[in-house]
A and B are shown apart, each in its own frame.
Chain A
């Protein structure tokens, strides 16, 4: 397969995505980690557009980069941890075991993916992944889970308020 424009776009989005994801793990200060995560979400939204998931790309930016990360930053600012409280990351033997295990897991999954062989993408219609099409499937086939999600969010709101209250 020759180098197509889509392939170039994929790498343009994928390399910074992995770099900013690594930045989340590498950062010691939670604010830097949050900023890396916001940038990772934006690059991932680009990948979603490549997958013709336009609605999900916008939800990714609005809900994740917008709402969830603001929540994270609020908590970081609320706690305002000092350098002493952040402490030094101790590199223990157990952590090396964890890193090795993760690398093994990654190698296993990637080898399984490569062995599965190249599979062609199906051709999709004009309306694949648009607001209209995804909305239709959400409100017909997935109506019950959709309504259950609203209950879940309500429970989460009540739970968050109760847990974070001064006196439990």
Chain B
């Protein structure tokens, strides 16, 4: 039997990789992919605790997380397309109209 700590540590690694990607990457589409990675890490944590507690509520929550991720991806990518239309770029550090200088 694999102890629950292994799954939690794996989820922590997955989350850290996604978080680093969100901070470092310039392409908005890849930033979205990294957000998906972080959501998956959260899902893995839910499922690990669900298995440890022997309760299936975590499965229901993970199901909702996947639904929210689908909605987030649809709206986010639509925003990326709109930004590309108006700016001709998807680089997150070049979209800076609201930036305080």
A-side residues, CB < 8 A to B, are 1, 4, 6-7, 10, 14, 17-18, 21-22, 24-25, 27, 30, 33-34, 37, 40-41, 44, 47-48, 50-53, 55-56, 59-60, 63-64, 67-68, 71-72, 75-76, 78-79, 81, 85-87, 89-90, 95, 98-99, 101-103, 105-106, 109-110, 113-114, 116-124, 128-129, 133-134, 137-138, 141-142, 145-146, 149, 152-153, 155-157, 159-161, 163-164, 166, 168
Contact = CB atoms under 8 A, between A and B. Distances in A.
Contacts of B6: 10, 14
Given A72-B73, A109-B16, A124-B54, 4 more contacts: A47-B7, A72-B77, A85-B90, A118-B5
Contacts of A124: 51, 54
Contact of A159 (B25, B34, B75, B88): B75
A162 to B, nearest CB: 8
B33 to A, nearest CB: 5
B67 interface: yes
Contact of A168 (B9, B71, B82): B82
Given A53-B50, A79-B90, A89-B25, A37 B70 contact: no
A63 B70 contact: yes
A56 B63 contact: yes
Contacts of A90: 26
Interface of B: 1-10, 12-21, 23-27, 29-30, 32-34, 36-37, 40, 43-44, 47-48, 50-54, 56-57, 59-60, 62-64, 66-75, 77-82, 84-85, 88-91
Contact of B57 (A47, A78, A141): A141
Given A25-B25, A63-B70, A119-B52, A160 B60 contact: no
Contact of B32 (A18, A59, A72): A72
A15 to B, nearest CB: 10
Minimum-distance CB pairs A-B, first 5: A98-B23, A156-B71, A122-B54, A106-B16, A164-B78
